[in-house]
Amino acid sequence: MSASADTVAPHTAASLDDAALHTIRALVFDLDGTLLDTLPHLTALTNFVLAQQHFPQHTQEEVLSYIGEGGQKLLMRAAPENTPQDVIDAMFQQWKEKFYTHGIDLVAPFEGINDMLATLKTRALLGVLSNKFDAGCIASVQQHFPNTFCWVHGERAGIPRKPQPDGLQNCLDELQLHPDEAIYVGDSVTDIDAARSAGMRAIGVSWGYQDSRALLEHGASYLAKSPCDLLTYVEPLLFERRI
């Protein structure tokens, strides 16, 4: 779903300063498009809510162009122009209520994600920060990745969503980590911008929902072509516990 990055020369672990090796204690991940392929679910759910208002339906490709800034923004973009805000609010409420049932069976982890997480869990703290509404984010992680992450949040009241760095800063504070001790992994420029603003390294993934080249242009340290590639890149960076 993302553009090819074969013409882009990504950084490699060897290109990093020696000081960067063995310093990473946590990896925080975006959810949709990074860990989970949720586009079919989001398309089905969005079209269901639109249909209740007798609004036109959208293709999966169209819904793809609307995602990245939370469900309410998605619906604002999917609804006809000049749809009143109170209608958008009502649609979003229904969207959240139907999130757990309508099309939920269409969600699945990307190939290789579970194996990657199983390995990383033995070496680092793992977290998730998404722009999905908080309850939906937590439910998705609990369903697909039980007992894997120590910190999980979506969009919450009082904490601006990505690309603002507040959510990542909150994560670092709660895990008692410095920005240099964590990496944020995502598939969008929103993710990369949030990480950079928080003072963290950012890794982009090429299997997600946005143009891979844009991730490097926005400052990603590396562009992973697969979960296995991501694991290979980060392993030399992970903190080594000395007994």
The predicted-structure confidence for 66-97, as pLDDT tens digits, reads as follows: 998 889 999 999 999 999 999 999 999 999 99
Burial readout 165-187 (b: 16 or more C-beta within 10 A, e: otherwise): bbbbbbbbeebebebebbbbbbb
Positions in the chain short of pLDDT 70: 1-21, 241-243
Q: How many helices (H) and strands (E) does the chain have?
A: 10, 8
Tokens of 22: 């063995």
Cβ–Cβ contacts within 10 Å for residue 196, how many? 18
| Radius of gyration over every alpha carbon of the chain, rounded to an integer in angstroms | 18
What are the extents of the domains in the chain?
13-37+109-237, 39-105
pLDDT at residue number 22: 77
CA angle 153, 167, 88 (to 5 degrees): 70
Closest CA to 4 of 203, 215, 221, 233: 215
Specify whether the CB–CB gap between 68 and 188 falls below 8 A.
yes
Q: CB atoms < 10 A from the CB of 151, how many?
A: 16
Q: Which two tokens stand for residue 113?
A: 């994600």
Spatial neighbors of 10 by CB under 8 A, at least 6 apart, are: 216, 222, 223
CA angle 105, 3, 115 (to 5 degrees): 50
Give the integer Cα–Cα distance in Å for 88 and 102.
19
Reduce the DSSP state of residue 34 to 3 states and report it: coil
CATH class of residue range 13-37+109-237: alpha beta
Q: Are 149 and 141 in contact (CB under 8 A)?
A: yes
The DSSP result for 154-219, as a single string, is EEBTTBPPTTSSHHHHHHHHHHT--GGGEEEEESSHHHHHHHHHTT-EEEEETTSSS-HHHHHHTT
Classify domain 39-105 by CATH architecture. Orthogonal Bundle (1.10)
CA-to-CA distance for 96 and 139, rounded, in angstroms? 12
What pLDDT, on the 0 to 100 scale, is given for residue 19? 54
